[in-house]
Amino acid sequence: MIRSVGHISAMSPYALAQLEAPEGKPLISLSQNESLRPPSPLAIEAAAEAMKAGHLYPDPDWSELRAALSGLHGIPAEGILCGCGSMELISCLTQAFADEQNTVLAPAYAYPFFRTAAQLARARYDTAPEQDRCASVDALLAAVRDDTRIVFVANPGNPTGTRIPRAELVRLREGLPGDILLVIDEAYGEFADHLGEPMFDLVGCGDTVVLRTFSKAYGLAGMRIGWGLFPPEIAREVRKVMNPNNITTAGQAAATAALVDQAYMRETCRETAALRDEFRGRLVKAGLDVPESFTNFILIRMKSAEEAHRADVALRAEGVFLRPQGGVGLADCLRATIGASERLDLTASLLEHWMNGGKT
Ligand SMILES: *Cc1c(COP(=O)(O)O)cnc(C)c1O
């Protein structure tokens, strides 16, 4: 018998969406927070062109992509690391800065990959209560232990969709000891950028990392490109853990071109927000509890876990796949990604019917 090492055999496989359409129905997946729109035509063209150099290893320093990110966000290129999705950065950061002597802390309903990353690093994983499905700075500060080494906060959060203002994150940073790394995961940052609260300046103090991704607003989830701004000493350690040839040549070219097409990305955010707010309005009117979202999804709370499960089964029978949230402790909730308007219409009608006792 060949066994994996202890902390790996104790882990469950990472739970991705389960998508099997019922016979004869098209699959309507609103389960993975993928973009409403395909990538910018400029990104598609750049990726195709980059394939001509597909026999060569990619640029290990992501030079053009970093220069473009630096110019767009007004941040130093040297502090930028690019990952095979921001998941790679989350995982490598945790491996580099926490081990079995340490605790990793996050809000109660945090992005589940934070826990996975802690498990891979053999670290303890702690959560702090949230308030109204929103991260609570007071609760996070109260949960800090002597061995806490990393605090993860996704802002806006996934699966909650809620966000805390910049002043709260600053208060969190100021309340944390200087030997605790604060990681602010802004995977949905572009959907909240119009609020004008960038966090990159906190990185300058040497104890904070800000992560972003091309998977959501830029519509490049399939290309696997994440990035972050790191203090130089943190970046140096994280790079030791990363795959040195992580992002494909086509991926780097697509991301760089997508940055040039800001108008396209902003239009995606605008369309998504308009559909989201209309969809949410319909569900709230039908009597569902849905917090205001700053992302490309909404969190729908049903009366009970049992009710959420039965509604999910009924929706799946019609080919509509939302994402159950039992895994993050919100078994009474379903998360719905904002998709094309006809998909949202169908989903809203099915949920309205359900709320009317029609049981679809
Ligand atoms: C989607 C998501 C990520 C991962 O994004 P990739 O860049 O595709 O790896 C990270 N954090 C949060 C909160 C997310 O929702």
Reported pTM? 0.96
Q: Which stretches of the chain drop beneath a pLDDT of 70?
A: 359-360
pLDDT at 246: 96
Ligand 1 atom at minimum distance from 221 CA: 8
pLDDT at 360: 43
Q: How many CA atoms lie within 13 A of 115 on its CB side?
A: 16
Residue 196 backbone class (left: φ over 0; alpha: ψ -120 to 50; beta: rest):
left
Backbone phi, psi, residue 359, to 5°? 50, 35
pLDDT at 357: 85
- Rounded to the nearest angstrom, the distance between the alpha carbon of 186 and the centre of ligand 1 is 9
C-alpha span between 207 and 280 (Å, rounded): 37
**Residue pair 91/120 in contact by the 8 Å Cβ criterion:** yes
Helix 41-50 / helix 249-260 crossing angle, nearest 10 deg: 150
C-alpha span between 64 and 56 (Å, rounded): 16
pLDDT at 191: 98
Domains located in the chain, CATH noted: 24-38+263-355 (3.90.1150.10), 41-260 (3.40.640.10)
pLDDT at 51: 97
pLDDT at 296: 98
Which residues, 6+ apart, have CB-to-CB distance to 268 below 8 Å? Answer: 35, 36, 37, 217, 218, 219
Ligand 1 atom at minimum distance from 83 CA: 7
Helix (H) or strand (E) holding 168, with range, is: helix 166-175
Ligand 1 atom at minimum distance from 111 CA: 13
pLDDT at 238: 98
158 lines ligand 1 (CB under 6 A): yes
Smallest CA-to-CA distance from 248 within 50, 34, 49 is with: 50
Number of H helices, E strands in the chain: 12, 12
268 lines ligand 1 (CB under 6 A): no
